[in-house]
Every structure is written in structure tokens, then in C-alpha cells.
Chain A
Amino acid sequence: MNYRYNIGCSLSNLKGIRDFVRNTLHENHVPELQISAIVLALDEMCSNLMIHAHHCNPNHFLELHINHPDKGIYVFEIIDDGSVFDINQFNEPGMDSLVHEKRKGGLGIRLVKSIMDKIEYTSEGGKNICRLTKEI
């Protein structure tokens, strides 16, 4: 199994990303609540990239791959050529400071780290690959 999706960096395209991930996981009979969590993690990763690495430029593109190499293992790759936005380098802020500082950001990274089992970054042929692994 190997699925691919290309999308311009406009936040209005996030729904398309969610639909693609949801439909792919449905086809593979992943349980509903797991699908919802994974869809959320991919939405968070892609919106982070669109905003921070591509400044929402619709002429910049992201490529999303979903692989299912082994039973129960799903690998999601987000490929782009923007600046690397490595969430492993960010210490997610505590909930208290988020409330106090009225910050509307910072929750997404916490969500992705809670949902996914592994988050890795590599670079191949001038492209950045963010690889998220989830065992179901």
C-alpha cells in the first residue's frame, strides 16, 4: 500500500489533506477513533509547515505519502523544500503558560507528540522529509 497526495500551501487545503488521510485509513479498516487522532496529527503538521515554512504561499507544494509497510504500522511522510520545522527541537509550553500568555499556538506540537509514536526528519535530494510513524 502506498498513497500519494500533492497540495498547495494554502490553509484552505487542510480539509483536502484530512479527507485524503481519513479515506486512506478507512480503506485499511483502521478504527474510527484512531483515524480521528491521526487525521488531527497530520492536519497539525501540515498547517505548521504551511504557516511557518511556506508562509501560506499556495504556489509552494507539500507532498504527503502514506505507507503501510507492516501489519499495524503506518508511516506518513510529508515532503517539502521549505525551511525545516523540526518539532523535536521545540519544547512544548506547559498548559499553565498557554493559559496565562493567551497563546493560541503551541498546542499542536503537544497533540502530534501525544498521538504519533515516532517523529523523524531526514533530507534527500534537496527535499525535507518529515516521517511520522504510528503503530495501531
Chain B
Amino acid sequence: MVHIKRLQENGADIIAVIGEIDASSSIELDLAIAKSVGEGFKRILVDCHALEYISSAGLGVFMSYIEEFRDKKIQMVLFGLKEKVINTFQILGLAELLHIRESKSEALKLANELSV
């Protein structure tokens, strides 16, 4: 079960993911990112403070956007991941393919730098 909230700060879209993302709920994450892209955001921050669990279905959603973001010059940065969650990213070596920071301010700073 996952809840997703979106809010905008300094021109960036912040997607807060609350709860657990598995094969039954990954579609929600996909829809939220697709909506953000559709609305033309170039900086997307994913707030993972309240993300308790993610399986490959959720990781696959992030992976599936990597090329599109590269083409459209969209910067996505994840922040606030719990140790147990970041561990899942590390098992797959995804921490190197995605941008991950500890705090929202660091995430925004990176997204701004990458947008230049």
C-alpha cells in the first residue's frame, strides 16, 4: 500500500512516496512520475523519507525513466532513503545509475547543478 503526494517547491516537483512499493503498487509511482513529466517539470525530487519498502517492481519504474530523462534533460534526484531501502538499491548497483542524496536541500542543489 502506497500513498503518493506531489508538491512544488522552487520550480521543482517533489514526489513524496509514503508506505511500501511492490508489484501491486508500483503503478502508482509510475503514474506520478509520468504526470510530473507530462506537466513539463525538468527537476523531479523523490522524497523517500516515509518509503518503508521497495521491491524490484518499484526499482524498475525508476530505471525505465533513465533514458527518457537523459533525452529530455530532466533531472531526478531521490532523497531521504532509509538504510534498509538504500540497501536494495545497492544490491543491484542502482545507487550508481540514479542520483541519490540525503536531504531535500542537497537533492535540490544537485538537480539545479545538473540542470545548468
Contacts and interface: CB of A to CB of B under 8 A. Distances in A.
A111 B88 contact: yes
Contact of A107 (B22, B59, B87): B59
Interface stretch (A12-20, A68-76, A123-131): A12-20
A19 B91 CA distance: 21
B1 interface: yes
Interface string A79-115: 0000000000000000100111011111110110011
Contacts of A32: 84
15 contacts: A11-B24, A37-B88, A47-B22, A47-B23, A98-B60, A102-B64, A102-B68, A103-B63, A104-B26, A104-B60, A104-B61, A107-B59, A108-B55, A110-B56, A115-B91
A136 interface: no
Given A11-B23, A33-B87, A111-B91, A99 B66 contact: yes
Contacts of B53: 18, 36, 39-40
Interface in B45-88: 53, 55-57, 59-61, 63-68, 83-84, 87-88
Main secondary structure, interface of A, reads helix
Interface residues of B, number: 29
A127 to B, nearest CB: 23
Nearest to B65: A102
B60 A37 contact: no
B55 A43 contact: yes
Contacts of B93: 95
B24 A110 contact: no
A44 interface: yes
Interface string B1-45: 100000000000000000010111010001000000000000000
A98 B63 contact: yes
A18 B66 CA distance: 29
A-B interface, 8 closest residue pairs, ranked by CB to CB distance from nearest: A104-B60, A11-B24, A107-B56, A108-B56, A36-B84, A47-B23, A102-B64, A99-B66
A51 interface: yes
